[in-house]
């Protein structure tokens, strides 16, 4: 049997991490929704993302990064940078070879490390590069050195840039600042209507880590209960502590709940595979990130599910949510402001008005639609 050549351009999506966090889930969703490109996902380590991609029959290749590179954090110092440099040189060479072998037409990079090593590998292999930036490239979460290496790399290597929000784009410098802004797909599976016969349930979705603001949500929930939220209302916290540094925070949240005597009101669900089932049980979805969220996929997912959302008034969610029309916005880090919005959603008519408008707005983030926009951006470098 002979098979013809693959007619679709082969687009590599590269991320160094296999943890199922925001940008990695984005890669999976876009790979699933793509029609005009053949996606090949390249991951720097084996892990949950790799299994998820393969379960969806997406061509996936692991090109391991040296441990010295993989485990380098935003705050690692110069000595570890030197060690990482040797590891990076090796990773770059092996990735360049892999890209050539896989007949990749365009390389897209999706994580800070990938913006550096995968972009260099692509240039070495003579392949066009698009940097798709998912995180703000300035700020306290990046050390000074890492921030400047990242911003410089983003400026010199890629042929084109995409940013997930205007906020993300505004953190870039030079050429990268001309990035096209394309949002993320809202891919939620089958979510049932919010149940009418169950107590009011707030849901919070995402990695359990301090900047996601679960502690603020718990505090706000306690304030709202004291101020007249139905007594049987509940807060469901969905998500796991994905990285070691988050375990202490997860433990502190449980202590906070116990100290408030709310063990029967706040439920920790941990990391779940079936997000749609969790979403189905919630009437209101809360997003409370303390630092401006670059995009915030959970917000558009909740909107697509027709839920009333309350989001932190900053970054991506503030670009997406029209306050009091398609959702509610509350000042980040302010439990009182969040409690006030929670109290507003106790009214079923308000929830249904916000949820209906949210669902209509979320049409813009349908996976096929976003994939089409991205295909246009990614493939634009081939025409140059
Ligand atoms: C990163 C950002 C998040 C965004 C995701 C997909 O994880 O922190 O806000 O939703 O990338 O672009």
| Residue 46 pLDDT | 96
**287 alpha carbon to ligand 1 midpoint, in Å?**
13
CA-to-CA distance for 162 and 176, rounded, in angstroms? 9
Decide if pLDDT at 265 tops 80. Answer: yes
- Assess whether the C-beta atom of 295 lies below 6 angstroms from ligand 1: yes
The residue whose C-alpha atom lies closest to atom 12 belonging to ligand 1 is 134
- Assess whether the C-beta atom of 370 lies below 6 angstroms from ligand 1: no
CA-to-CA distance for 362 and 250, rounded, in angstroms? 31
Structure confidence by residue, pLDDT tens digits, 271-286: 998 889 999 999 999 9
Q: Kindly state the tokens that stand for 93.
A: 């060479």
The residue whose C-alpha atom lies closest to atom 4 belonging to ligand 1 is 295
Q: How far is residue 88 CA from its own chain's centroid?
A: 25
The model's confidence at residue 358, banded by pLDDT at 50, 70 and 90, is: very high
CA-to-CA distance for 149 and 363, rounded, in angstroms? 37
For a pLDDT cut of 90, what percent of the chain falls above it?
Answer: 80
Tell me the three state secondary structure of residue 304: helix
Decide if pLDDT at 384 tops 90. Answer: no
| Residue 70 pLDDT | 64
The residue whose C-alpha atom lies closest to atom 7 belonging to ligand 1 is 22
Ligand 1 atom closest to Cα of residue 294:
9
Q: What is the mean pLDDT of residues 148-162?
A: 92
- Assess whether the C-beta atom of 164 lies below 6 angstroms from ligand 1: yes
Tell me the three state secondary structure of residue 176: helix
Q: What is the mean pLDDT of residues 351-374?
A: 97
- Assess whether the C-beta atom of 357 lies below 6 angstroms from ligand 1: no
Q: Are 226 and 186 in contact (CB under 8 A)?
A: no
Decide if pLDDT at 225 tops 80. Answer: yes
DSSP state of 193: P
- Assess whether the C-beta atom of 296 lies below 6 angstroms from ligand 1: yes
Output 351 or 190, whichever has higher pLDDT.
351
Q: What is the mean pLDDT of residues 79-96?
A: 80
Decide if pLDDT at 41 tops 90. Answer: yes
HEC string of 204-263 equals EECCCCHHHCHHHHHHHHHHHHHCCCCCCCEEEEECCCCCHHHHHHHHHHHHHHHHCCCC
**162 alpha carbon to ligand 1 midpoint, in Å?**
13
Q: What is the mean pLDDT of residues 161-180?
A: 96
| Residue 300 pLDDT | 97
Cβ-proximal residues to 72 (8 Å cutoff; 6+ apart), any chain: 80, 81, 84, 113
Sign, CA torsion 105/111/112/114: negative
Decide if pLDDT at 242 tops 80. Answer: no
Q: Exposed, middle or buried by CB within 10 Å (0-12, 13-18, 19+), for 144?
A: exposed
| Residue 4 pLDDT | 61
- Considering only 5-9, 83-87, 98-102, 188-192, which range has the smallest mean pLDDT? 83-87
Ligand 1 atom closest to Cα of residue 21:
7
Q: pTM for this one?
A: 0.91
Q: What is the mean pLDDT of residues 177-184?
A: 97
CA-to-CA distance for 61 and 266, rounded, in angstroms? 40
| Residue 2 pLDDT | 54
Q: Are 30 and 185 in contact (CB under 8 A)?
A: yes
CA-to-CA distance for 11 and 23, rounded, in angstroms? 17
- Assess whether the C-beta atom of 135 lies below 6 angstroms from ligand 1: yes
Decide if pLDDT at 68 tops 80. Answer: no
């Amino acid at each position: 049997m002979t098979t013809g050549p693959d007619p679709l351009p082969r687009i590599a999506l590269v991320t160094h991490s296999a943890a199922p966090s925001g940008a990695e889930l984005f890669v999976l969703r876009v790979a699933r929704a793509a029609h005009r490109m053949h996606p090949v996902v390249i991951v720097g380590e084996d892990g949950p993302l790799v299994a998820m991609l393969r379960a969806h029959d997406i061509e996936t290749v692991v090109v391991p990064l040296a441990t010295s590179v993989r485990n380098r954090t935003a705050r690692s110092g110069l000595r570890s940078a030197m060690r990482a440099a040797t590891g990076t040189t090796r990773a770059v060479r092996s990735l360049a070879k892999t890209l050539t072998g896989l007949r990749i037409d365009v390389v897209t990079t999706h994580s800070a490390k990938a913006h550096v090593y995968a972009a260099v590998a692509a240039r070495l292999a003579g392949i066009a590069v698009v940097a798709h930036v998912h995180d703000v490239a300035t700020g306290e979460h990046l050390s000074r050195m890492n921030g400047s290496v990242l911003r410089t790399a983003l400026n010199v290597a890629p042929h084109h840039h995409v940013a997930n929000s205007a906020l993300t784009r505004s953190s870039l410098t030079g050429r990268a600042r001309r990035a096209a802004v394309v949002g993320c797909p809202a891919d939620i599976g089958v979510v049932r209507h919010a149940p009418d016969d169950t107590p009011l349930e707030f849901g919070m979705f995402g990695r359990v880590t301090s900047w996601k603001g679960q502690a603020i949500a718990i505090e706000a929930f306690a304030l709202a209960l004291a101020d007249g939220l139905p007594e049987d209302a509940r807060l469901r916290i969905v998500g796991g502590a994905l990285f070691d540094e988050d375990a202490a925070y997860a433990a502190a949240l449980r202590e906070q709940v116990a100290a408030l005597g709310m063990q029967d009101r706040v439920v920790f669900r941990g990391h779940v595979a079936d997000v749609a089932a969790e979403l189905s049980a919630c009437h209101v979805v809360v997003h409370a990130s303390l630092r401006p969220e670059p995009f915030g996929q959970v917000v558009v997912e909740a909107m697509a599910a027709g839920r009333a959302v309350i989001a932190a008034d900053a970054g991506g969610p503030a670009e997406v949510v029209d306050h009091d029309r398609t959702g509610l916005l509350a000042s980040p880090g302010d439990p009182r402001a969040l409690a006030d919005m929670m109290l507003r959603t106790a009214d079923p008519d308000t929830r249904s008005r916000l949820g209906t408008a949210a669902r209509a707005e979320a049409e813009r983030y349908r996976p096929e639609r976003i994939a089409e926009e991205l295909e246009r951006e990614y493939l634009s470098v081939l025409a140059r």
